[in-house]
Amino acid sequence: LLLALQVRLVMKGHSFIRENVPRVLSSVKDKSGTVHIPRISQYLYFLFAPTLIYRDSYPRNPTIRWSYVATKFAQVLGSLFYAYYIFVRLCIPQFRNSSQETFNLRGLVLCIFNSILPGVLILFLVFFAFLHCWLNAFAEMLRFADRMFYK
């Protein structure tokens, strides 16, 4: 989780520098009196907005739909509880039974193959919970209007 957060911050920092350094260098080279430096509020909004491309302004919604935000957070919680249920009911019993027996390769392979389908279901739930529900909830709270997360 920390590594993913650090990678996101490095990618956002790279985008911020890539978009702003050429503007500053061109204004210094032209010896114009005005240098357009982004405000701190623009940078902070960019850090929390669900995008990796820096712009000085983004399309914004006029209002926040709090019922939509609550629905998305409820879907995140529902996905987490469902993933926990799948894990407890389908994954843990496989490995609990194998821990009481002596080690054999056949038993390990059977445990792994019996856990593939629940693991894939959990991955789909994580994808839905984070990339769809979590990012849409924060986009709505930030009034971020461009919702093309999957492109």
pLDDT (tens digit per residue) in 30-68: 776 677 788 899 999 898 888 888 988 888 889 999 999
Taking only the tens of pLDDT, the chain with its 151 residues reads: 789 889 999 999 999 999 988 888 887 777 766 777 888 999 998 988 888 889 888 888 899 999 999 999 999 999 999 999 998 998 888 777 666 777 788 877 888 888 899 999 999 999 999 888 998 898 899 998 876 655 5
**Which range of residues forms the domain containing residue 131?**
59-150
The predicted structure's pLDDT at residue 150: 55
Q: Are 43 and 111 members of one domain?
A: no
The residue type of 130 is F
Q: Are 40 and 68 members of one domain?
A: no
* Structure letter (DSSP) for residue 90: I
Q: Are 132 and 146 members of one domain?
A: yes
Q: Are 18 and 30 members of one domain?
A: yes
The predicted structure's pLDDT at residue 148: 65
Contacts of residue 38, defined as CB under 8 A and 6 or more positions apart, other chains included, come to 16, 20, 56
Q: Are 26 and 84 members of one domain?
A: no
Contacts of residue 126, defined as CB under 8 A and 6 or more positions apart, other chains included, come to 79, 83
Domain total of the chain: 2
Instruction: Round to whole Å and give the CA distance between 7 and 2.
Output: 9
